[in-house]
Amino acid sequence: MLIMLTALFAVSMLAPVFYSWWGRRSFYLLAAVLTVAFGWVLAHIPQVVSADQSAGIGEPNAPPAVVFEWIPQLGVELAFRMDALALALSLLITGVGAAVMLYCARYFPAVERAAGPFAAQLFAFAAAMLGLVLSDDLVMLFIFWELTTVLSFLLIGYSAHRIFARRSAIQALVVTTLGGLAMLVGLLWVGELAGSYRLSEILAQATELSGTAVDIAMVLILIGAVSKSALVPFHFWLPAAMAAPTPVSAYLHAAAMVKAGVYLVARFAPGFHDTAFWLPIVLTLGLLTMLVGAYRALRQTDIKLVLAYGTVSQLGFLIMVNGLGTQDAALAGIAMLLAHGLFKAALFMVVGIIDHKTGTRDLRTLSGLGRTQKPLFVISLVAVASMAGLPPLFTIDGVDRLV
């Protein structure tokens, strides 16, 4: 795992060089690398499915894992572990990432000087998200968490000549950074209480951890999660972030970055959902976000903002389901998480194509577009049907076999 992550970050640093050589065709190479990473994740499915999730690193039937000492004086390790939840998110990150890279190869003009650094940042974001979901050390998890925050700031502010893009990037940076700092305190606190910074070990002894200190630590961790996933009262940064190019919206704000908060909730919920403030916060903010996002989505005329507020609403639902902490809820949460990443990323990319072809995203001027753009209509219809949960586009059975 460490070798794969190192290779991905190395490729991200070389991306501007590739772009200087091949122009926008370099995105094909980046897509191929993420496709290889996707295949690497797929190769771990048999071992993950057969693993006993309660087994520790090095024990028989344990999930794939690696550990290297980094700062032994502080108990910080380069620890990575791929269980069912990490596997599902890794497939989403690498699979959708490869599709978005292919999309970028035709999204940008043939000559676009800023596209080289953009390619590096977007690819590094994919590597950081993969590191986040695979991390089994709390400090490493936080490092990757903040790395995604910094990279999202750069990607949202891609059009630096536009004041709205700069303001949106700063707003996203401030909100998610403040939430991340609160989360850091919670992570370190629960690590000290458990006597270990190893995430798998903390969750294994979660039933033995109780008291006011644990309750407060979980509240701080939830602050980081809900700020990253744009739940009320932090929901405003996500629609504003639509100032970013469409590939950023399709990847960061549909399939990857906003899923980090959902992932954190899903990771801690099985062990800590019965703490004093967990369910009240998760259910209240989740339900409120569902309603606010849905209401605001119905009032938009910009297709991108319709999708953005729809994403806010669906993130509230995802947080609610994944936060319940039961096995059935976890199964449903992974199913919805994967489905949402797929159909929402596809819809954002369709909107980008519509914007390029027509020069507008205003719903009031796009009536009858399906008659002249039949391929886009078919893709949109399939994605919308998936969003509605119509079979056979996505079924719980497939996830049941994974978990």
Task: Output the pLDDT for position 248.
Answer: 93
Mean pLDDT, to the nearest integer, of 363-379? 87
Mean pLDDT, to the nearest integer, of 154-183? 93
Mean pLDDT, to the nearest integer, of 38-66? 80
Task: Output the pLDDT for position 357.
Answer: 87
**With bands split at pLDDT 50, 70 and 90, how would you rate the model's confidence at 54?**
low
pLDDT tens for each residue of 192-207: 999 999 999 999 999 8
pLDDT > 60? residue 395? no
pLDDT tens for each residue of 70-100: 888 777 789 999 999 999 999 999 999 999 9
Asked if residues 121 and 27 have their Cβ atoms less than 8 Å apart, the reply is no
CA separation for the pair 220, 225 (Å, rounded): 9
- Residue 275 DSSP one-character state: S
Mean pLDDT, to the nearest integer, of 109-129? 89
Task: Output the pLDDT for position 401.
Answer: 42
Task: Output the pLDDT for position 29.
Answer: 97
Task: Output the pLDDT for position 392.
Answer: 79
Task: Output the pLDDT for position 111.
Answer: 66
pLDDT > 80? residue 399? no
Helices (H), 323-394: 327-358, 369-372, 374-387
CA separation for the pair 118, 114 (Å, rounded): 6
pLDDT > 80? residue 58? no
pLDDT > 60? residue 17? yes
CA separation for the pair 150, 252 (Å, rounded): 12
pLDDT tens for each residue of 212-235: 999 999 999 999 999 999 999 999
Instruction: Show the 3-state SS of 254-272.
Output: CCCHHHHHHHHHHHHHHHH
CA separation for the pair 105, 400 (Å, rounded): 36
pLDDT > 50? residue 402? no
**With bands split at pLDDT 50, 70 and 90, how would you rate the model's confidence at 53?**
low
- Residue 294 DSSP one-character state: H
CA separation for the pair 251, 125 (Å, rounded): 10
pLDDT > 90? residue 398? no
pLDDT > 60? residue 287? yes
Instruction: Please tell me which residue, 184 or 158, carries the higher pLDDT value.
Output: 184
**With bands split at pLDDT 50, 70 and 90, how would you rate the model's confidence at 59?**
low
Domain span holding position 39 = 2-402
Distance of CA 292 to the CA centre of its chain: 21
* Tally of domains within the chain: 1
Asked if residues 304 and 254 have their Cβ atoms less than 8 Å apart, the reply is no
pLDDT > 50? residue 47? yes
CA separation for the pair 18, 302 (Å, rounded): 35
Asked if residues 303 and 354 have their Cβ atoms less than 8 Å apart, the reply is yes
pLDDT > 60? residue 321? yes
Task: Output the pLDDT for position 215.
Answer: 96
pLDDT > 80? residue 403? no
Mean pLDDT, to the nearest integer, of 19-23? 92
- Sort residue 61 into left (φ over 0), alpha (ψ -120 to 50) or beta: left
pLDDT > 50? residue 144? yes
Mean pLDDT computed over every residue of the chain: 90
Q: Which of 102-116, 337-351, 368-382 has the lowest mean pLDDT?
A: 102-116
Instruction: Please tell me which residue, 29 or 110, carries the higher pLDDT value.
Output: 29
Instruction: Please tell me which residue, 78 or 367, carries the higher pLDDT value.
Output: 78
Taking the CA atoms of 158, 238, 248 and 128 in sequence, report the sign of the dihedral they define: positive
- Residue 302 DSSP one-character state: B
pTM of the model: 0.93
